[in-house]
Structure 1
Amino acid sequence: MATPPPYPAAFPAPPHRHPHWWQRTWVRYGALVVLLALSGLVILALVREQTGTRGFLVGLGLAVLPVPLLVAAFRWLDRVDPGPWRNLLFAFAWGACAAALIAIVANSFATRWIATATADPASADTLGATVIAPVVEESAKATAVLLVFLFRRRDFSGIVDGVVIAGVTATGFAFTENILYLGTAFGTDQVTGGRGMASVTAATFFVRIVMSPFAHPLFTVLTGIGFGAAALLADRQHVRRALLPAAGLLLAMGLHALWNGSGSLGQYGFFAVYTAFMVPVFGLLSWLVIWSRQRELATVRAELPAYALAGWLAPAEPFVLGSLRARRLARRHAREHAGRGAARAVGQYEAYATSLAFLRRRGRLGRAGADFVPRERELLDALWSRRAVARPALDHAARTTARPLPVPARVPPGTVYGPAYGYGHPVPQQSPHPQPYPQPYPYPAYNPYRS
């Protein structure tokens, strides 16, 4: 195959600068791993000290039960544009180690200080649970979302990404907290001889694992929605980009405080709050996330036809890539006929195409950053290198699902797109040597340097 033509440079590349040692990627990752590992060791020692070895093991065995289900649920929500596993691992580790350690230390210190200042331990415990704990815990969990938002910006493109990162972080936090509560309950049963219906462990398990495993994820998801909404805004909208995450965090703290305070509302306060607030909010947020995912699929169907027109994609691909069922059929077809490696390549093709659609949408709306051009080139190159494996599978999915093909006719052979002046509409040019590798700029709709 002929060598692809060079990609026209819209802007001169900035001079290469060697970063300082503390700016190197491996230094940052190493520092993060060390921080999380130390936090994990400290939280392990603290929990084991409060529960004892047997209580810790019992709590661990019971607390781990909802974790796979919750993580799988959030991963299922992220099927349109799945983020890398390293982000999820970081979020879970931060919630289970760093956020849990911050919460235990800060809550204990604040409660003791209030008890000393007021000489009323009972009131201090109530105030700590309803005021201090929601502020500390939600702030600690929100830090993970903030870090991904700032340093993994390419993987944070909308509401669904915010929900997934926030939910997995809260799942890790709830995992550690459940170990502590269940282990402490088991220790209480060992002292009092509680069995059966009188078992504190059974009651704690029913409330925390059976009835409300989604409680902490539900709180923190509100923060994630705030960050996800901010990710959809242009970089220049500084005030709104700061206010939306703050508003989500305040809502998370408020709902968390209401939940923690339900026990002080009388005999049926817990069930009243659970029925009147938790279940409706859970249903509303579930609808919002699924609706956001459908909007993501609609974005894929709306933005990718321009790349099909320019020759980067086959005519049917925008509509196959905009259907989860068709995507699944394509991966299955590749796996059955070419093995797992081919299925993995098709999955990567789908993910890169989705990222390309989101990038083009941000550029068309004037919300992309200065890295629009190199990022577009990177994604197009990734698609082109996988087209030989992916296109037969996607074509099979298109024929199986009978997807419509409302794509305009292809550009005539020999017509390529040159760089557009001012990033308006592309300038057609006749190439003396037609290339099988189409030029970029299928829709260069955004100039990051133009005000």
Structure 2
Amino acid sequence: MSQSPAEAPAPGPPASGEAAAPVPHRAPGDPAFPVAADRSQWRYRPRRAFWRSRLVRAVAVITVLALCALVILALVREQTGTEGFLVGLGLGVLPVPLLMAAFRWLDRVEPGPWKNLLFAFAWGAFAAALVAILANSFAVRWIATATADPDAADNLGATVIAPVVEESAKAAAILLLFLFRRRDFGGPVDGVVAAGFTATGFAFTENILYLGNAFGEDQEFGTSGLGSVTAATFFVRVVMSPFAHPLFTVLTGLGFGFAALAPRGRRPRKVLLPLAGLLLAMGVHALWNGSATFGGPLAFYAVYAVFMVPAFGLLTWLAVWSRQRELRTISRVLPAYAAAGWLAPAEPPALSSLRARQMARAFAARAYGPEAARAVGEYESFATTLAFLRDRARRGVAGPDFAAREQELLHHLWQRRPVASPALTYAARATGLTWAPPQYLDYGDFNPYRS
């Protein structure tokens, strides 16, 4: 009869230099995990308030975003005309797949749920864009009426009002994910990806408006080809600076991401870091808009070359460094589970290498088929989540249900271990991450490798 592993105690405040909770001991033999019955067979069903139901929340969010989409698309079509709207839509969608793929690539270590990313994109494209176009228009009209100077109102709106309104509207999506999808928001990479998808959606709608208006201007004056306003707008917004809005909003996402790493009880840090990121995003956005509004083409290109390109490179490096930091967390945390017998010794090095992970899935697919490859992928995902959960426990931010969540993840790992462990061990040896035993060689009467 197999024995069940001892439960890990709930994490308390981490002592200096010590882990927050010990790894549960695995007794020899296969552990006996009770498999939960299907929800339809539950005798006791926890009751929730109606408004807290996931279905109700999902319907409410989808309804709000759908209404925002209808309103904002109608407003854009009214300004650009049907033909201009279709041209702007066709040209504005071109950078979207590339930006989404880039941010998704950054999130390869522990990919966030697609529903979160789609929510962020839809919020940026519809809700944030609607708030921005209404608030900016109202503010510019109010300033123009108060000062009787429409040109000054337009300049002030572009350099002051627009950065504050737009960055605040986009930051709302990151704040909602930070508050209501906290388990999926574990660090800077998650903040960068959420911000990137939100800003990509916002830039998509904004590009439809600008390109559609440019096409309408070309139709009015009869210009076409490379000298048209549409071609110039496409070059500036889609070719030269598709990363502009993502660059601004990523600063807010980094603020939320570093706030997610703050230990429990550090409430000021969790407030000040996102606020600092938001203010920095507004400042960079204002600098970008101001260079185009007041400085003319030369100032715009100077700011682009001297500030925007280096800033983009720095943030790209920071994002890649954050991803490597996640891999280092896996290699640092999982050996404790290998020492306790939950993982094979070669698994932590393989799980901390994206190349070895891919090789393990490919090996399982060749040896046992696509089902095995999917099981290995799930094993890698659960192991990554386990590593980050334990790292949060070490920092005192895992929550009171750490032990239950740890046991659940270990259960999922153990179910998939017969297929995943050999595949990961093979990948670790094939990539040189761990020692591989020499091949069996027969030297007649003497074999130095035979024990």
Q: Measure how far apart 1:269 and its partner are.
A: 1.1
Q: Measure how far apart 1:49 and its partner are.
A: 0.8
**After superposition, what is the alpha-carbon deviation per residue over 1:268-292, rounded to whole angstroms, capped at 9, x for unaligned?**
0110110111001001101111111
Which residue of the partner structure matches residue 5 of structure 1?
Answer: 4
The answer as to 2:284 corresponding to 1:255 is yes
Native 8 Å contact 1:224 1:245 kept in 2: yes
Bigger RCO (CA 8 Å, 6+ sep): 2
**After superposition, what is the alpha-carbon deviation per residue over 1:84-140, rounded to whole angstroms, capped at 9, x for unaligned?**
111111111111111111111111111111111111111111100110110111011
Q: Secondary structure at 1:268's aligned position in 2? A: helix
Report the CA distance shift for 1:209/1:4 in structure 2 as closer, same or farther (over 3 A): farther
The answer as to 2:265 corresponding to 1:266 is no
* Partner residue of 1:355 out of 385, 388, 398: 385
* Partner residue of 1:99 out of 125, 128, 134: 128
**After superposition, what is the alpha-carbon deviation per residue over 1:7-34, rounded to whole angstroms, capped at 9, x for unaligned?**
64857xxx98622111111111110011
- In the TM superposition, 1:61-210 aligns within 5 A as 61-210=90-239
The answer as to 2:418 corresponding to 1:388 is yes
Kindly provide the amino acid, as one letter, of the partner of residue 5 in structure 1. S
* Partner residue of 2:78 out of 46, 49, 68: 49
Q: Measure how far apart 1:305 and its partner are.
A: 0.5
Q: Which runs of 5+ in 1 are unaligned?
A: 407-451
Q: Secondary structure at 1:185's aligned position in 2? A: helix
The answer as to 2:346 corresponding to 1:316 is yes
Native 8 Å contact 1:345 1:390 kept in 2: yes
Native 8 Å contact 2:109 2:323 kept in 1: yes
* Partner residue of 2:48 out of 7, 11, 19: 19
**After superposition, what is the alpha-carbon deviation per residue over 1:326-375, rounded to whole angstroms, capped at 9, x for unaligned?**
01111112223333332222222112111111111121232322121122
Q: Which runs of 5+ in 2 are unaligned?
A: 11-43, 437-451
Q: Secondary structure at 2:4's aligned position in 1? A: coil
RMSD between superposed Cα atoms in Å: 1.7
Which residue of the partner structure matches residue 277 of structure 1?
Answer: 307
Kindly provide the amino acid, as one letter, of the partner of residue 46 in structure 1. L
Which residue of the partner structure matches residue 256 of structure 2?
Answer: 227
Kindly provide the amino acid, as one letter, of the partner of residue 307 in structure 1. Y
The answer as to 2:286 corresponding to 1:287 is no
Matched residues, number: 402
Which residue of the partner structure matches residue 32 of structure 1?
Answer: 61
Structure 1 distance, partners of 2:339, 2:370, is 31
Displaced runs of 4 or more, over 6 A = none
Structure 2 distance, partners of 1:296, 1:44, is 39
Native 8 Å contact 1:234 1:368 kept in 2: no
**After superposition, what is the alpha-carbon deviation per residue over 1:371-404, rounded to whole angstroms, capped at 9, x for unaligned?**
2112212221221222222122212212211222
Kindly provide the amino acid, as one letter, of the partner of residue 77 in structure 1. L
Kindly provide the amino acid, as one letter, of the partner of residue 341 in structure 1. E
Native 8 Å contact 2:264 2:396 kept in 1: no
The answer as to 2:430 corresponding to 1:400 is yes
Structure 1 distance, partners of 2:48, 2:408, is 22
Report the CA distance shift for 1:243/1:76 in structure 2 as closer, same or farther (over 3 A): same
Identity of aligned residues (%): 69
Structure 2 distance, partners of 1:80, 1:207, is 33
The answer as to 2:398 corresponding to 1:368 is yes
Structure 2 distance, partners of 1:17, 1:386, is 29
Report the CA distance shift for 1:295/1:117 in structure 2 as closer, same or farther (over 3 A): same
* Partner residue of 2:409 out of 379, 397, 414: 379
Structure 1 distance, partners of 2:80, 2:364, is 50
281-290 or 264-273, which deviates more: 264-273
Report the CA distance shift for 1:333/1:361 in structure 2 as closer, same or farther (over 3 A): same
Structure 2 distance, partners of 1:331, 1:215, is 36
Q: Measure how far apart 1:6 and its partner are.
A: 6.9
TM-score (norm: length of structure 1)? 0.86
Q: Measure how far apart 1:41 and its partner are.
A: 0.9
Kindly provide the amino acid, as one letter, of the partner of residue 395 in structure 1. T
Kindly provide the amino acid, as one letter, of the partner of residue 252 in structure 2. T
Kindly provide the amino acid, as one letter, of the partner of residue 400 in structure 2. A
**After superposition, what is the alpha-carbon deviation per residue over 1:286-323, rounded to whole angstroms, capped at 9, x for unaligned?**
11111111111111001000111111111100000011
Q: Measure how far apart 1:144 and its partner are.
A: 0.7
TM-score (norm: length of structure 2)? 0.86
Native 8 Å contact 1:77 1:289 kept in 2: yes
Kindly provide the amino acid, as one letter, of the partner of residue 202 in structure 1. A
Which residue of the partner structure matches residue 19 of structure 2?
Answer: none
Q: Secondary structure at 2:302's aligned position in 1? A: helix
Structure 1 distance, partners of 2:216, 2:82, is 10
Q: Measure how far apart 1:405 and its partner are.
A: 6.0
